[in-house]
Structure 1
Amino acid sequence: MKVAMLAPIAWRTPPRHYGPWELTTSLLTEALVARGVEVTLFATQDSLTSATLAGPVPAPYEEDPAIDAKVWEMRHVAHVFERAAEFDLIHNQADFVPLGFSRLVRTPVVTTIHGFSSDRILPMYGEYQHDVAYVAISAADRHPALRYAATIHHGIRVDDFAFDAQGSDDLLFFGRFHPDKGPEQAIAAAAASGRRLRMAGIVQDRGFFERAVEPAIDGDRVMYLGAVGGEERVRTLGAARALLHLIAFDEPFGLSVVEAFACGTPVIANRRGSMSELIDHGVTGFLVDSPQEAVEAIARVDSIDRAACRRAAIERFSVDRMADEYLALYRQILGG
């Protein structure tokens, strides 16, 4: 089986720190290669993979100001579809633009929908839903107006995340600094609980960060670590008493949640989006519906068995499970 894996080009595949779509694309690519699938990864030229790397884009547009996102995205997608006849299947991880090319080729196209940035993109998804096999990353993110071939939760390489049986007394916010992610809610909950809060992630909304987050950062009770990746990411996730995921939007998945589980760290999350699919309330964390419930959950977090969090990551969120489910879908589409 020959698969063209179409990655986004906002970040390198895999990303150096932030880049959940690119990370998932990389994890799936490597797992498929390990299963003997002949994968060509179309990604930025600085990407790292055991697959065949291809594509015209020299660097990620979020890291190199010389890369015009619109121009290079079109070159990137066009390049893949110009080579479509070389592959049995194209797996699109790069949102809605590639859908517009799908009727121009005979090669089947699978598209993983990594959430909806806005309902304004629905006209594209609606138009091509009978031509492209859509995969939802959670049941919560399935749009009622669309047809889907499957729902496949993301997976991670659990062995890459060291289990920390103790953690620390500190709480953690881990994600992009944007109102959607609720960093100010995490600050308030940590303060009310009397625990120190460590915060890590990229600043996506600078004005919001300066207004709602930065005034609370004092280097003592609230510490800002910046964007962390690699071993520092693992240490940061594992060293927390709990991850505070007090989101203000319907999160389509949440990789940091399952990464925290892999380290043994329970998660306290607002009951929105996919959180009820990921978190087993009272076993791997707590689902809350108000700021007060979040504070109460922090007080109860020591009742969570950190080993149970690790088991959940192994049993439910492994990259092997994800790859097997995608491979089964590919074979179904290709007729066995």
Structure 2
Amino acid sequence: MRIAMLAPIAWRTPPRHYGPWESVVSLLTEGLVARGIDVTLFATADSETGGTLRSVCAQGYEEDRDMNAKVWECLHISEVFEHAGEFDLIHNHFDFLPLTYSGLIDTPVVTTIHGFSSPAILPVYRKYNRRTAYVSISAADRAEGIDYVATVHHGIDLSQFDFRAQPEDYLLFFGRIHPDKGAREAIAIARTCGKRLVLAGIVQDTGYFKQYVEPALESGRVDFVGSVGPARRNALLGGAGALLHPISFAEPFGLSIIEAMACGTPTIAFNRGSMPELIEHGINGFLANDCGEAVAQVARINEIDRARCRQTVEARFTVGRMVDEYIEVYQQLLRHPPHGGAS
């Protein structure tokens, strides 16, 4: 089986700090390579893989703001499809744009939909429905009028996350600084509880950061540490009493939640999107409807068995399980290609 793995090029694969899509692509690629599958990773030139790396751009456009993102996206995507005949299957992690190439080739294409940035992109997915194959990353993130061959939850490499039975006395917000993710609400929850809050993540909305986060910063009470790499991530997640995830949108998945659970840390999340698929209320975390409920749940966080959090990931969210399920998808598509693929 020869797989062309099409990664995004906003960041390196795997990312040095932020880059959830690139992180998933890397874990899947390396897992497949470890199974003896021939994978060519189409990613930035500074990416790292045990498979074959093919690239057209030196680094991610988020790491070099002089790059024209659209130009390099077009060059990157076309490189895959111009060499489609070299592969048995193309696995697209690049959102909707590559679908517009899929009718021009015979090689089957499967797209993992990492979320819908806007309803405005749905016409592209609908046009190529059944001519390509779609995988959702949660049952919650399925759009009407689109057919899916599978739902495959993300998995993580447990060796990157150390279990900690005894946390420190702080709460953690770990994600993009953006209204969708709820940094403002996390600050309000922590203040009401009288708990220290550490915020980690890239600043994606500068205006929001300056209005709601920066004025609240106070050393030892509300600390912002920016975007962090794997080692600091492991330490922050494991040391937290709880991860606060007061989202204001229907989140398709939530890697930080299973990463926190791998360290033994439960999450208190607003009950939207895929959260009920990841969190068993009262077992490995809590689902809240508002800040008031979240405050009450912080007081109950010691009811959660941290070992049970780790066990949840071991049972449901390992990279091995993710790889197994994608191999099943590939085999299914090679036996019965979508209408756009070779027969």
Superposed pair shares fold, TM > 0.5: yes
Alignment partner, residue 16 of structure 2:
16
Cα deviation 1:84-142 (Å, max 9, x = unaligned): 00000000001001000001110000000000000000010110012110000000001
2:335 alignment partner, SS class: coil
What is the 5 A alignment of 1:86-97?
86-97=86-97
Amino acid at match of 2:137: I
Cα deviation 1:247-286 (Å, max 9, x = unaligned): 0100000000000000000000000000000001101100
Q: How many residues align?
A: 336
1:180 alignment partner, SS class: coil
Which whole-Å CA distance do the structure 2 matches of 1:277 and 1:211 have between them? 33
Which whole-Å CA distance do the structure 2 matches of 1:135 and 1:282 have between them? 30
Amino acid at match of 1:300: R
Alignment partner, residue 144 of structure 1:
144
Q: Is the 8 A contact 1:238 1:263 kept in 2?
A: yes
Which whole-Å CA distance do the structure 2 matches of 1:319 and 1:230 have between them? 16
Alignment partner, residue 128 of structure 1:
128
Alignment partner, residue 116 of structure 1:
116
Cα deviation 1:113-172 (Å, max 9, x = unaligned): 000000000010110012110000000001122111110000000121000111111000
Which whole-Å CA distance do the structure 2 matches of 1:132 and 1:306 have between them? 41
1:219 alignment partner, SS class: coil
Q: Is the 8 A contact 1:59 1:67 kept in 2?
A: no
Q: Is the 8 A contact 2:12 2:59 kept in 1?
A: yes
Higher relative contact order (CA 8 A, sep 6+): 2
2:4 alignment partner, SS class: strand
Q: Is the 8 A contact 1:4 1:87 kept in 2?
A: yes
Q: Is the 8 A contact 1:12 1:60 kept in 2?
A: yes
Alignment partner, residue 305 of structure 1:
305
Which whole-Å CA distance do the structure 2 matches of 1:193 and 1:145 have between them? 44
Which whole-Å CA distance do the structure 2 matches of 1:324 and 1:69 have between them? 33
Alignment partner, residue 294 of structure 1:
294
Which whole-Å CA distance do the structure 2 matches of 1:225 and 1:75 have between them? 35
TM-score if structure 1 supplies the norm length?
Answer: 0.99
Indicate yes or no: 2:219 matched with 1:199.
Answer: no
Alignment partner, residue 271 of structure 2:
271
Amino acid at match of 1:89: L
Which whole-Å CA distance do the structure 1 matches of 2:290 and 2:71 have between them? 43
Cα deviation 1:8-42 (Å, max 9, x = unaligned): 00000000100000000000000000011100000
Which whole-Å CA distance do the structure 2 matches of 1:317 and 1:144 have between them? 26
What is the 5 A alignment of 1:315-334?
315-334=315-334
Amino acid at match of 1:65: R
Where does the alignment leave 5 or more consecutive residues of structure 1 unmatched?
Answer: none
Which whole-Å CA distance do the structure 2 matches of 1:105 and 1:146 have between them? 21
Amino acid at match of 1:4: A
TM-score if structure 2 supplies the norm length?
Answer: 0.97
Give runs of ≥4 in structure 1 deviating > 6 Å.
none
Which whole-Å CA distance do the structure 1 matches of 2:76 and 2:152 have between them? 26
Which whole-Å CA distance do the structure 2 matches of 1:130 and 1:311 have between them? 37
Q: Is the 8 A contact 1:244 1:269 kept in 2?
A: yes
State the shift of 1:216 in Å: 0.4
Q: Is the 8 A contact 2:160 2:230 kept in 1?
A: no
